[in-house]
Amino acid sequence: MKHLCIDAWLKTLAVAVVASSTLAGPALAQQAGNAQEGAEVFKKCRSCHDVGPGAKNKVGPLLNGIVGRKAGTIEGFSYSEANKAAGAKGLVWTEEVMFKYLENPLAFMPANKMAFAGLKDEQDRKDVIAYLKTFEAK
């Protein structure tokens, strides 16, 4: 039963990702994020996530190289079944996907482990994504 729910969610997610890539992509490009402002916004994320040289998995996975990475693929992190299934189905953390996810993580990916209400402000989401883009994968 649990797997059927995840499969139904993944089908909905695929449609949402295509729609958000088509619709949100140009909107994101029109008003880019500010990495310096994103560093301030990221303070809300630091208790669970790490970035930068020497970054390690914490309660959440390290976020170096998150933009462009397949979901659920950081070595040594215990992901939720929902996150692993999303990665297995091809979910990649593009800027557009992250923009939607960060608005409300549990609505975007039901049954994931991230206990965070999200960033409701669009500019905060753009800024934190710009900040995360400054950290490449090891």
* The predicted structure's pLDDT at residue 136: 92
* The predicted structure's pLDDT at residue 76: 94
* The predicted structure's pLDDT at residue 6: 53
* The predicted structure's pLDDT at residue 129: 98
Q: Whole-model pTM?
A: 0.79
CATH for 2-132, options being 1.20.1260.10, 3.20.20.70, 1.10.760.10, 2.30.30.40? 1.10.760.10
* The predicted structure's pLDDT at residue 15: 44
pLDDT in tens, 102-131: 999 999 999 999 989 999 999 999 999 999
* The predicted structure's pLDDT at residue 48: 96
* The predicted structure's pLDDT at residue 31: 75
DSSP track, the chain = -HHHHHHHHHHHHHHHHHHHHHHHHHHHHHS---HHHHHHHGGGTTTT---STT----SS---TT-TTPBTT--TT----HHHHHHHHTT-B--HHHHHHHHH-HHHHSTT-S--------HHHHHHHHHHHTTS---
Query: Could you list the mean pLDDT of each consecutive 10-residue stretch along the chain, which spans 138 residues?
Result: 50 47 48 94 97 96 97 95 96 97 96 93 98 92
